[in-house]
Amino acid sequence: MNVCGRSSIEELDKILDFSFDVQEGDTVNFTALQFTLDGQLKQFRPVNVLRELNLCPTSRREVLFGRSFSLSCKVPMEDVVLDGNSQLIFSTLFVNYIEKKMPLIRSIPVLIRNSPNSNMNDNPEAWQLVRRFFTVDLVSGLRSNYIPKIYEEDRLQDKFDFIRYLISVELRFRVKTESNKLSTPLLILKYGEYNTSQQDIHPTIDFHFSVTFSKSFNFQSLLEILLPIFILLAFVLAIFEAIAYKTRQHKLIYDLDVFGKFIVFLLSKIGTALFAIVIIICLYIHLTFKSQKQIQLLLPLPVEQLLKILTGIALILKSIKLAQHLWQIAHIDIFFIDWERPRIFENRNQLDTPSVCSGSVTARLASPCESISAWRSYFVANEWQELTTTRKISMFIHLVGLIWILLIVKAENFASRNFFFHLWPSKDPPDGILLMSTGILAFTFIYIIQRIFNFVIWERYFKNPIQQFIDVCCIANVSVFILRLESYGYYIHGRSPHGFSDTDICSMILQFRQEERGQRGLTPGSELQTYSLLAPRNLRQHPPQINEYVTKGYEGNFERTILTYYSINRFFGAFIDHALKDLDYIVKEKTILEKLLNCEFEAILSETSSVELSSYRDQHFKGSRTDQERLLKTSTTLYVGNLSFFTTEEQIHELFSRCGDIRRIVMGLDKFKKTPCGFCFVEYYTRNDAEMSMRYINGTRLDDRLIRVDWDAGFIEGRQYGRGKSGGQVRDEYRTDYDSGRGGYGKILQQKAVPNTDNL
């Protein structure tokens, strides 16, 4: 019986009314009808297709529902002939199923690829399906004049002209959308023919056997969702990173350098996006496949090859970024700022034995080159070289952990094609997508464990490389100034809180006593010593030796090199100490979003945020809130707070005049003593100059204090006096901490500390 055209499609679309259980490992069983060459029924019996249609050795015993597999091997022709029957046997294969508790069978259509030619294409409408097939044909090619030998072994060349045999068997199942039901299976066969005239001593055949379960599941829709979203996100982040690069380089226009960096950033972000897409799809397939009770997808999937291609493209794109990163590391400019200064040693010891400590002579060495040791800078530079090779995780522990999890714990078996997670070995080879997903999960798990362990235990109680390097810098009294870009880098504040590194026993004891309240931070009252740096645009041009030394160097000129070293060291020391009029900086805390995006919003977006009105309002303002808001938006007067009582009007004028012409400065006074009490008013001629002052001076250090600048509605006579009960500012009334720049403790604490002598 032959079936062709649309009838073949209808035949294959018939559904077996039986639901298989993927968790129980249900088997698909078969029955065969066998006929002789003349059409007589020979037998009707259950068959095991893995034994009767498969020539390759296998440990499998039966076909499990939903488990696709394939076998390939080389089989000697002699074995095929021995396994064959001297009579040509035709078989009709049936699949067993149960419907309404009744066992039923349905015949399996057979597609023979060799004949006719229409069976070679993939269009079911052109197929011509049959019911019967044979495995080995030893009848058609049998020589008519063949006489069996009694005492000798028959040769194939003597007995046959040709032999027909199966070279490929594929049993194809389609899982329907209903509850784990199968459509009518399809048996696809391909025959080969061996001509005995070939001069092969030991002929072999290449045999292939496969069982395929398929279900229509289209990943194209998932890729159509993920790919545009992640590529668009990569493009936006690349633009954002290019803008940040332009800002950090203090470039006025978008030149070829910025465009080139944008291309590198874009390629890197696209690589990251492709990695993210591959990870999401792999994890989705893995979790869906292992947790499904109703068949949703089956392995292997055609999307596996696409995922491998995306991974390869991502690796190539990330390698471009890695090459650019390595080139940038090789061109980083590092300056070691030596804070050590020559000291005067006064030795009061009079010893009889000659010693370098003997005598009472007070001496100062003539030049820094003779009095300051350079070994501290060499030592810090060596520690920096070791620090550059430090990683956030230990790769050795990471590899050992991966080997332990995958090979010893046997987590690699999570990649088996069984429909559940298990640790015991499986007969099936692991699937590529599940293998990638298992590797991703193991890698991520080990990484997270290492980061948590390092953060919670190792870096806190044993060894923190960054903090150890900072401690070394503090001991050596050396700071590290790093410029990763033209005007962007990092700063490690290694200035000793005691002012010097070389010490004696007496000084060391005093330092230990001061260590309890000593703070190493760059700003007062801070312990923070590591900073990201957005340097001023003209940093490299002050002094000119910096740019010349960095770009050209002084080969063979020893004296000029030494002078340049001390010049650069003094320059950076003055820059950190706010001692340069044309070069200054402010210290600000990065927001969480800035840390995540690795940028500076104030420099990228706009500079209007620093000149906006604050939430503070003068409660003694005579007028409505609307009038106060209007005056604040048009005012040219600034309120300056957190000043030291010892800051003079000349100092304030020198600082604020850098932003514009000042109309007047009104110092805040104690209303009883008429002495400065820590605030003032600065009035400019124009609003633009006042905005520049708000933008660049707010947060600046003056007399070792961070001053605060805010808008004021306008100075009125009488506002220069403090509003506290004791005559100063209200904040100094209730202050409980000791502030040497603002009169010590708060006024209330001072009054409590003064004893009452009236009754004595």
- Asked if pLDDT for residue 96 goes beyond 60, the answer is yes
Domain boundaries, the chain: 3-214, 217-331, 617-753
User: Per-residue pLDDT tens for 651-661?
Assistant: 999 899 888 89
Give whichever of 255-259, 362-366, 703-707 has the largest mean pLDDT: 255-259
Q: For the CA atoms of the chain, what is the radius of gyration?
A: 43
Which pairing describes strands 186-195 and 110-112: parallel, antiparallel, or unpaired?
A: parallel
Average pLDDT over residues 216-237: 87
The sign of the CA dihedral 456, 458, 462, 463 is: negative
User: What's the pLDDT at 104?
Assistant: 87
Instruction: Return the pLDDT at 214.
Output: 82
Q: For 203-251, give the DSSP string.
A: -EEEEEEEEEEE-----HHHHHHHHHHHHHHHHHHHHHHHHHHHHHTT-
At 180, is the pLDDT very low, low, confident or very high (cuts 50, 70, 90)?
Answer: confident
- On the question of pLDDT at 364 being above 50, the answer is no
Contact (CB, 8 A) for 668 and 705? no
- pLDDT higher than 50, residue 182: yes
One-letter identity of residue 356: V
Identify the residue whose tokens are 């490690």: 492
Q: Is the distance from CB of 23 to CB of 13 less than 8 angstroms?
A: no
**Lowest-confidence pick of 25-39, 373-387, 535-549:** 535-549
With a cut of 80, say whether residue 167 has pLDDT above it. Answer: yes
Give the per-residue pLDDT at 9. 57
Fill in the amino acid letter for 281: I
| Mean pLDDT along residues 210-220 | 80
Q: What is the predicted pLDDT for the residue at 586?
A: 72
pLDDT tier, 760 (very low <50, low <70, confident <90, very high otherwise): very low
Helix (H, G, I), strand (E, B) or coil at 510: helix
Q: What is the mean pLDDT of residues 214-230?
A: 83
DSSP at 463: -
Cis peptide before 124 (omega within 30 of 0): no
Banded model confidence at residue 207, pLDDT cuts 50, 70, 90: very high
Whole-angstrom Cα distance, residue 449 to residue 441?
12
Say yes or no to pLDDT of 540 above 90: no
Residue range 625-631: mean pLDDT, rounded: 86
Count Cβ atoms within 10 A of the Cβ of residue 432 and give its class: 0-12 exposed, 13-18 middle, 19 or more buried.
middle
Mean pLDDT across the stretch 371-381? 80
Query: pLDDT-derived band of residue 574, with 50, 70 and 90 as boundaries?
Result: confident
CB within 8 Å of 447: residues ≥ 6 apart: 393, 398
Given a cut of 50, whether residue 316 has pLDDT beyond it is yes
Cβ neighbours around 712 below 10 Å, total = 22
Highest mean pLDDT among 411-415, 542-546, 549-553, 736-740: 411-415
The answer to whether residue 347 scores a pLDDT higher than 70 is no
pLDDT cut 90: percent of the chain above it: 24
Q: How far is CA 501 from CA 377, 414, 471, 528, 570, in A?
A: 12, 58, 12, 20, 18
Residue 667 has pLDDT above 90, yes or no: yes
Q: How far is CA 382 from CA 100, 376, 389, 558, in A?
A: 82, 10, 12, 22
- What's the confidence (pLDDT) of residue 356? 38
pLDDT score at 267? 96
**Mean pLDDT value of segment 616-620:** 77
Give exposure, 672-692, as e/b (b: 16+ Cβ within 10 Å): eeeebbbbbbbbbeeeebbbb
Coil/strand/helix, residue 541: helix
- Residue 18 scores a pLDDT above 70: no
Res 437: pLDDT: 92
Q: What is the pLDDT of residue 361?
A: 38
Q: What is the pTM of this model?
A: 0.64
% of residues, the chain, pLDDT over 70: 79
- The residue among 391 and 293 whose pLDDT is bigger is 391
> Quick check: 278 pLDDT over 80?
yes
Report the pLDDT averaged over residues 97-111. 86
Predicted confidence (pLDDT) per residue in 482-528, tens digit: 888 877 888 888 887 666 666 666 666 666 665 555 556 676 656 67
pLDDT of residue 420: 78
Average pLDDT, the chain: 80
User: Which segment of 288-292, 298-302, 562-566, 590-594 scores lowest on mean pLDDT?
Assistant: 562-566
Residue 388 has a pLDDT of 85
Long-range pairs of 76-83 with CB within 8 A, sequence gap ≥ 24: 76/202, 76/203, 76/204, 77/156, 77/163, 77/194, 77/202, 77/203, 77/204, 77/205, 78/156, 78/202, 79/55, 80/55, 80/136, 80/163, 80/165, 80/205, 81/136, 81/138, 81/156, 81/163, 83/55, 83/136
Give dist(CA 468, CA 464) in Å, integer.
Answer: 6
* Least confidently predicted of 39-43, 538-542, 621-625: 538-542
Name the amino acid, one letter, at 742: R
| Whole-number Å distance between alpha carbons of 380 and 385 | 9
Contact 485, 249 (CB under 8 A): yes
Of the candidates 168, 176, 167, 216, which has an alpha carbon nearest to the alpha carbon of residue 194?
167
Instruction: State yes or no: pLDDT of 558 exceeds 70.
Output: no
**Least trusted range by pLDDT, from 60-74, 225-239, 417-431, 543-557:** 543-557
pLDDT band for position 183 (cuts 50, 70, 90): confident
Name the residue among 499, 132, 156, 541 with its Cα closest to residue 341.
Answer: 499
Lookup result for tokens 């391909």: 190
Residue 438 has pLDDT above 70, yes or no: yes
Per-residue pLDDT, 560: 67
Q: What is the mean predicted confidence (pLDDT) over 460-464?
A: 87
Superfamily of domain 617-753 in the CATH hierarchy: RRM (RNA recognition motif) domain (3.30.70.330)
